Structure 1
């Protein structure tokens, strides 16, 4: 695995952060237990950025049309999205959030 630093690790529990890195978009979320998750940063419904997405009960809520995705596996959990989004291996290292972009 080759992890790449993408953003500082100061994401508070229960929040998300939209990150662009080398032409790709990601959404990093820290659940209420403090566990980090990372998914593609574009909603599968309309390919709009998930910037400003909320985290609620283990789901990411798209700020544009309300599509819901499971934070752990990216599965679509509510319309208008019918396709899931990719998840990424994520870790904290030396004050940075890193993703395995080769996975």
Structure 2
């Protein structure tokens, strides 16, 4: 399994960080329990960046139109999005958050 470091792991619980890596966008999420998750960084509704997305009750909320996505699967959980976003396995290692881009 190949992991690619993307961002420092100093993301507070219940927050997100938008990162770009090798031409792709990702949203790194730390849930309220401190676990790290990673999703595609573009909303499936309008392909706008999820930068600034909020975390609420296990979902991220798109800052543009309010679409909701499950942080553990990427599944769409509220309109206007009708399809989910990709989810990537994530782990913390040596002060960095790494995503498995080849699950």
TM-score interval, normalised by the smaller of the two chains: over 0.9
CA distance in 2, matches of 1:101, 1:30: 18
Query: For structure 1, which runs of at least 5 residues remain unmatched after alignment?
Result: none
Alignment of 1:6-85 (within 5 A): 6-85=6-85
User: Scaled by the length of structure 2, what TM-score is found?
Assistant: 0.99
RMSD: 0.4
Following superposition, which runs of at least 4 residues in structure 1 exceed 3 angstroms of deviation?
A: none
User: Scaled by the length of structure 1, what TM-score is found?
Assistant: 0.99
Query: For structure 2, which runs of at least 5 residues remain unmatched after alignment?
Result: none
Query: Aligned pairs, how many?
Result: 103
CA distance in 1, matches of 2:59, 2:5: 24
